[in-house]
Amino acid sequence: MTTAHPRATGYSIGHRQHLFIGGEWRRSAKGGVIDVISPTDELVADQVAAATPEDIDLAVTAAREAFDQGPWPHMAPSERAATLRRVAANLRERLSDTAWATTLEMGAPLAMARTIATRSAQLFDDYAEIAETHPTEDVRPRQAGGYTVVVSEPVGVVAAIVPWNGPALLTALKVAPALAAGCTVVLKPAPETPLDAYILAECIEAAGVPPGVFNLVVADREASDRLIRHPGIDKVSFTGSTAVGKHILEVASQRVLRVSLELGGKSAAIVLDDANMETVVAQLAGEVCTNTGQVCASLTRMIVPRGKMADYAEALGATVSKMSVGDPFQDGVQVGPLAMGRQRSRVEDYIRKGVDEGAQLVSGGRRPGHVERGFFIEPTVFSNVSPSMTIAREEIFGPVASIIAHDGPEDAVRIANDTRYGLHGAVFTEDPDAGYRVARQMQTGSIGFNRREIDWSMPFGGFKESGLGREGGREGYRQYIELKSIYMPQLPSRLKKQQ
């Protein structure tokens, strides 16, 4: 990079033009680099090493050797937990670095980026505790006599593939439980947002994780495809689009590769007739604007009573139009840019489709006039949206909300479930009994009450085409273990003492 970005001094990375493989920082095989573009000003923010298929092979080999021959899988869970707690402590010392890098690389407002960085560090502590308390040997007496010892063992070498929205958090949701379970990891962040992953790699290195247990490669599509096809990989953990998830699933089927997939969403907020309008509008305005709508679980389908649709549309449109759009490094800014130019073009295309198909554009829909550069788009609200319209059916991944009318709770549930997705949802009502009844009928992996609620100590994942498996909590940890049943006529002495 010939000219430093004006905000490059806000964080520190020591090995940006290297890959972390086998416990060492190495140049890529061909010495290539990837430009990281700041979505705020469209300038090159930084450069990182570009991995080749040869580098992917080296990383998988290092992880394979660390799993097959190294100490990490065989350590006591308490030893691994102690290492993860050091990683967490290192990440906390570098919270400002991670937050700044996140805002620079993907445009999240700095206050939000700090929250992401804080939660990412906490996940390593959370999974340290889970590792210490999860039973690795479950002794079960058999009716036929003797015992079965059901053993939890690490699944092996994990390819952790992370998207560009909120990357620090999504990385921690994979790396922390995988390491806690005793797996080794090859992390591949999105090439658009790799900076936070470098900070994590430096924190892991400083924590004393054995060589090869954690590896970092940043790669384009060709090298990334090599990773999921590599015979040395035992499991792929992927977060991203449903289309890419289907490709991974197809590749995995060839050798019954273990996979967990957290994919797209088109989450519905069902608003019942008794809901408090002020609460609904405040919460759903946040859904439009949080991370510029680049949240897989955003409540972008707002299903409201038909007789109140005009009132909700007016109130929501007025609220989001007052949201501060601009430089995400500035205090008070609520909506930053979209992460990439191609993403803004995608969002603009959906807005045009909404208008062309007859939805009523209530607010937004344009590039803001007060910013000259950057991938900005105004928060956008559509009303009179039919459930059959494109904007009501496809994941836009931008600050665009669709208000849809319902004719009672059963109709609202029918509309909410009429989708190929099933990641998240919410019910807005003053009646907990009615809210729970509706929630039980919604075909989705998690449901909030009067808000979008996600607790990463609880399982998160989707029905239908929103994915396979769960992340978060003990269920997230279990994605990285295999179960082995050992039949014993009598228990070994060590286990006898524990009975």
Q: Is 484 helix (H, G, I), strand (E, B) or coil?
A: strand
Contacts of 180 (CB under 8 A, 6+ apart): 77, 80, 81, 84, 127, 128, 130, 131, 477, 480
CA-to-CA separations, 479 to 153, 232, 258, 475, 482, in angstroms, rounded: 11, 18, 9, 7, 8
DSSP states along 174-226: HHHHHHHHT-EEEEE--TTS-HHHHHHHHHHHHTTPPTTSEEE--B-HHHHHH
How are strands ordered across the β-sheet holding 258-262? 24-26, 19-21, 214-216, 184-188, 157-161, 235-239, 258-262, 467-468
Q: What letter represents residue 245's amino acid? A: G
Task: Report CA 332 to chain centroid distance, whole Å.
Answer: 25
The answer to whether 428 and 441 have CB atoms below 8 angstroms apart is no
Q: Could you confirm whether 262 is annotated as catalytic?
A: yes
The answer to whether 417 and 442 have CB atoms below 8 angstroms apart is yes
Q: What is the C-alpha to C-alpha distance for residues 452 and 448, in angstroms, rounded to an integer?
A: 5
CA-to-CA separations, 228 to 41, 202, 244, 249, in angstroms, rounded: 34, 24, 11, 10
The answer to whether 1 and 37 have CB atoms below 8 angstroms apart is no
Q: Of the residues 192, 202, 205, 262, which is catalytic? A: 262
The DSSP bridge partners found for residue 481 are 154
Q: What is the C-alpha to C-alpha distance for residues 295 and 409, in angstroms, rounded to an integer?
A: 26
Q: What letter represents residue 88's amino acid? A: A
Running DSSP on this structure, what letter comes out for residue 460? B
Q: What is the C-alpha to C-alpha distance for residues 488 and 283, in angstroms, rounded to an integer?
A: 56
Helix (H) or strand (E) holding 24: strand 24-26
Q: Which residues are catalytic?
A: 262
